[in-house]
Structure 1
Amino acid sequence: MINLSVNLNAVALLRNRRNLPWPDLCDIGRLALGAGAAGLTVHPRPDERHIRKSDIFILRDMLRQEYPDKEYNIEGFPDERWLAIVEEAMPDQATLVPDDPDQATSDHGWDFAAQRDFLAPIVERLKKRGIRVSLFANPSPEGLDIAKEIGADRVELYTGPYGASFNDRERQAKELQKLAFAAQRAQELRLGLNAGHDLTVQNLTPLVMALPNLDEVSIGHALIADALKFGIAETVRRFRRALGDPC
């Protein structure tokens, strides 16, 4: 079964428009987990424009106390600020993303050849703490052997180009083929496989069929957008069905 991790960044962004405590991230997280989500994802950025440092520990405590069988994934650029947060929070998974602080959202994977020496000690550092490490990767087989060599447990394929091709079937098929080639290489290397960015109910099923070794998807924007129509719990169930889970 493919795990669905619900990214709460969009919920935090909505909350931060006002100096008020709602929507409450824990309440939304409980609804998602209660509907069958396998875990929660947060991506704290230095300006705290959505997820705040305090959110990370409140959510961690909620998960540990109320949902000990669910997973916590913290994404971000692995500078010392972020690493200190991760080492204190001790999530199940840390996803290293090559984000610039000014980026609106993630839009590319690591250049593994160029950034090997930067990533290797960070991967080792986190794994020594017992944290599973996933590296954000472009939809390409290139460099995945390096990700394996430096000790990554998984890679998360960037599915942005695939998601952006929603109105162009020919382009979508080409982008899906790229993802399939990358997934095949990850399988050959015995790397776990995650995927994320602009995934929707509509494009998930073709992705699942093309990537049979997929372990997890992390979804935020589209899921929260759909929740405005269907509610959090029903939206989570719709995404789970798109992943092939007969919930």
Structure 2
Amino acid sequence: MSVELSVNLNAVAMLRNRRDLPWPSVTGLGRIALQAGAHGLTVHPRPDERHIRFSDLPAIRALIDEEFPEAEFNIEGYPSIEFLALVSAARPEQVTLVPDDPAQPTSDHGWDFEHQSGFLRPIVERLRGEGARVSLFADPDAAQMPAASATGCDRVEFYTGPYGATHSDPAAAKAEIDRLGAAADAALDLGLGINAGHDLTVANLPALVARIPALAEVSIGHGLTADALEYGMAETVRRFRRACGQLV
């Protein structure tokens, strides 16, 4: 099974928002990413709209529907009333629920499934009823996977920030890969699909893919956008696709 690449556009939007100008274009760079073979586009609209704006959602939806109907739209966020209304209007193929506080600069931990599965279960049911695949942001903890499965979600997205932080420490990287692999094995045994995201790079993706060959999707924003400044968006997408094992 091929590991799909979803390009997170938040960093592009944050750069745009530094000026009251329409560039860099979120949809323009999203188009380039999809033309280069990305499977989908990801956004995380936060309440203060500090990067993705609510007005970006219908434009991205239209881009996919009109030009790339096989691509997927993935919307991440905390399931507030306001967020769920945005999701209902945007009709994403996938919704990734995260336990973020609105003030957090970025997602940095998964759900506490043991204590929050009751809160999540009706939200997951609602979103699936609207036609979305539901993924829940998760720490790579094998012991929590039964409670994650009990929410009725389709997938978990493993938080790979600690793995990304081991970029200069091979022994620590192996330990994190082992932890991610054990959690993935537990999730797969329960019938859950596996996504991953946070601080993934061209350098560290191959080891992750090798350990979790059933990995369905990686969502990458910061590292991919940083590389795009050097290589351009199209070539960067191709480089990440090679790291995912899609291209030779």
* TM-score, length of structure 2 as denominator length: 0.98
Q: Specify the SS of the correspondent of 1:202.
A: coil
**Residue 127 of structure 2 corresponds to residue 136 of structure 1:** no
Q: Which residue of 1 aligns with 2:219?
A: 218
For 1:89 and 1:144, the matched residues in 2 are separated by: 29
Identify the residue that residue 191 of structure 1 maps to in structure 2. 192
RMSD: 0.7
- 1:84-133, CA deviations, whole angstroms, 9 ceiling, x for partnerless residues? 10011110000000000010000000000111111011001101111100
Tell me which stretches of 4 or more aligned residues in structure 1 moved more than 4 Å: none
Measured in 1, the distance between the counterparts of 2:29 and 2:11 equals 11
Q: Deviations over 1:187-233 (max 9, x none)?
A: 10110100000000000000000111100000000000000110000
Kindly report which structure 2 residues correspond to 1:5-16, keeping only aligned pairs within 5 A, or say none. Answer: 5-16=6-17
One-letter amino acid matched to 1:92: E
Alignment: residue pair count: 247
Distance in 1 separating the partners of 2:54 and 2:151: 29
Map of 2:169 onto structure 1:
168
Distance in 2, matches of 1:164 and 1:105, equals 15
2:112 is the counterpart of 1:111: yes
Residue in 2 that maps onto 1:83 = 84
Looking at structure 2, the residues matched to 102 and 31 of structure 1 have their Cα atoms a distance apart, in angstroms, of: 31
Instruction: Output the CA distance in 1 between the equivalents of 2:247 and 2:11.
Output: 27
Partner residue in 2 for 1:236: 237
- Partner of 1:174, secondary structure, is helix
Partner of 1:96 in structure 2?
Answer: 97
Which residue number in structure 2 is paired with residue 3 of structure 1? 4
1:144 CA drift (Å): 1.3
Find the counterpart in structure 2 of residue 47 from structure 1: 48
Distance in 2 between residues matched to 1:86 and 1:70, nearest whole Å: 17
Letter in 1 for 2:132: I
Amino acid at match of 1:82: F
Deviation at 1:66, TM superposition (A): 0.7
Residues 118 and 151 in structure 2, CA contact (< 8 A), matched pair in contact too: no
The DSSP-based 3-state class of the residue aligned with 1:23 is coil
Which secondary structure state, in structure 2, belongs to the residue aligned with residue 143 of structure 1? helix
CA distance in 2, matches of 1:84, 1:142: 33
Give the letter aligned to residue 32 of structure 1.
A
CA shift digits 1:13-50 (9 cap, x unpaired): 00000000000111100100000000000000000000
Alpha-carbon distance, 1:142 to partner: 2.2
Partner Cα distance (1:74, 1:246) in 2: 26
| 3-state SS of 1:207 partner | helix
CA positional deviation for 1:153: 0.3
1:146, distance to aligned residue in structure 2 (A): 1.7
Shift of 1:149: 1.8
Where structure 2 has 5 or more consecutive residues not aligned to the other structure, the ranges are: none
Cα distance in structure 1, aligned partners of 2:247 and 2:60: 28
